[in-house]
Amino acid sequence: MAETSHAGEIKEGHGDIENQLDTTQMIYKVPTHVKNKNLTAYEPKVVSMGPYHYGKPQCKFMEKQKQRAFDNFSIRSGVTLQGYIEQMRKVVKKLKRSYADLDHDKWKDDEKFSKLMILDGCFFIEFWSGAAKAFNKDYPDNDPVFSHRGNAINDNAVREDLLMVENQLPYLAIQMVWLTGPEGRLQKRDAGAISQWIASDIKEQDAGFHMLDTYMEELMQIDKRSIYDKEPGKFCASELYQFNVYFKKAGSYNRLQFDNNTGILTLPIITINEHTVSTYLNMAARASTRESPTAAVFIIYTRLMGTLVQSTKDVRLLQSHGIIINQFSNRDAVLEVIQEMAKGTVSSDNVIVRSNGLSYISIIEDLDKFCKLRRWRKTLYVWFSNLTETHFKTPWSGLSLIAAITLLVLTIIQTVYAILSFIKPDTQGNGQGRG
């Protein structure tokens, strides 16, 4: 009876839950020409989420674990699989619309699709529960996946898969799993223990559409009050360094700034290794399909890095300043990753973001001005050096040059006076005529 009562509450609240899903926010497949450059970066290695990679051979083991996750989750909630399916079917059309490239023939059966959402949602909740030690008592200590030990072993691989743009589960599906069942069976304290990704925070619009969105929001921490401006300039790091621009590492993306007085460009740290490459590339792919301050800043950041890092010389320079943490054996791999990230971001009208009073375009403009001033000074220095080298080798050549310049100046002055003397009488004559 309790199940029926709570299901009624869910039904009444469905409008609010469904409205949280912006129909313009969809889960896309990465374009083939982008994916072919680095196929392993975009395809899950151990666990699939959603329909795009369901049934892949490398994910078969975790499909069995999803059923175990559901069994334990169902015991705690007291709701059968059919009970979950009935609730999920109420939003199944919206969930299907979330996948822009869904194979509708394969997934035309609403019950089959609903079951997919349920099992994936339960796995998501149970896996992060293991990370938070929320429901460890439901699994033996040596459980290969859901115990705290099993979670620690699988964390990197699963986390990497769950941050792939094609491998996302809408938060709406997770909410439906979470909220279906008698009130009180899943305590609020347990929800808080799991993580910010599956508790009350996912009800907020700011939390994003799915896990990759939330990860990007947390990583970027961009103020939502943002406006858009134009594209940055084109200086690589080693060129900036030649113009006495120095580099300093920052703790967050909001700290990106350039100080005109000191010539210090502050950039967030980027760690590049075998685990982070896939995440960065998927963030770039997601940013290209999402309109938000976070996405825009990430696009500009990747383009800026693509501009700064044009060679291994630039990689070495930023590495020496602690901005690039290279965990590969060579710099060529880092250069390739950064360039691939930059090329993987696509946006309209060359947008760039101003946030928290910080204008990203102003940083670029300040860099331009700083370098142009340094270039002008350098040019002036070179010109003067050449001048002294050519004309001041002997005292006589120096005197000859000074005499020539003096004569030129006197000639110009004489010409100006002649013109003024010609204009002045004519003006006076015209004035007398009017009188």
How many angstroms separate the CA atoms of 354 and 361, rounded?
7
Is there a single domain that holds both residue 30 and residue 159? yes
Residue 329 has pLDDT above 60, yes or no: yes
Give a three-class secondary structure readout of 163-205: CCCCCCCCHHHHHHHHHCCCCCCCCHHHHHHHCCCCCHHHHCH
Identify the pLDDT of residue 197.
42
Q: Is residue 365 part of a domain?
A: no
Is there a single domain that holds both residue 125 and residue 8? yes
Q: Is residue 218 part of a domain?
A: no
Is there a single domain that holds both residue 138 and residue 284? no
Is there a single domain that holds both residue 8 and residue 72? yes
Q: Is residue 83 part of a domain?
A: yes
| Average pLDDT, integer, range 339-365 | 61
Q: Is residue 367 part of a domain?
A: no
Is there a single domain that holds both residue 197 and residue 257? no
Q: Is residue 366 part of a domain?
A: no
Q: Is residue 217 part of a domain?
A: no
Identify the pLDDT of residue 320.
94
Please write the tens of the pLDDT for every residue from 188-226: 444 444 444 443 334 444 445 788 887 777 676 654 444
Task: Identify the domain containing residue 388 by its residue range.
Answer: 374-434
Identify the pLDDT of residue 136.
56
Is there a single domain that holds both residue 155 and residue 9? yes
Is there a single domain that holds both residue 17 and residue 139? yes
Q: Which of 360, 387, 403 is the last residue of a domain?
A: 360
Q: Is residue 346 part of a domain?
A: yes
Identify the pLDDT of residue 397.
53
Residue 137 has pLDDT above 70, yes or no: no
| Average pLDDT, integer, range 36-54 | 93
Is there a single domain that holds both residue 331 and residue 382? no
Tally of structural domains, the chain: 3
Please write the tens of the pLDDT for every residue from 55-65: 999 999 999 99
Is there a single domain that holds both residue 117 and residue 192? yes
What DSSP string runs through 249-317?
EESSGGG-EEETTTTEEEEE-EEESTTHHHHHHHHHHHHTT--SHHHHHHHHHHHHHHHH-SSHHHHHH
Identify the pLDDT of residue 376.
54
Q: Which residues, in sequence order, are CB contacts of 238 under 8 Å at separation 6+?
A: 310, 311, 313, 314, 317
* Range name among 194-208, 224-238, 319-333 with the lowest pLDDT average: 194-208
More confident residue, 391 or 79: 79
| Average pLDDT, integer, range 410-427 | 61
Q: Is residue 106 part of a domain?
A: yes
- Across 176-190, 201-215, 265-279, which has the greatest mean pLDDT? 265-279
Categorize the per-residue pLDDT at 183 as very low, low, confident or very high, splitting at 50, 70 and 90: very low
Please write the tens of the pLDDT for every residue from 97-121: 999 999 999 999 999 999 999 999 9
Is there a single domain that holds both residue 171 and residue 295? no
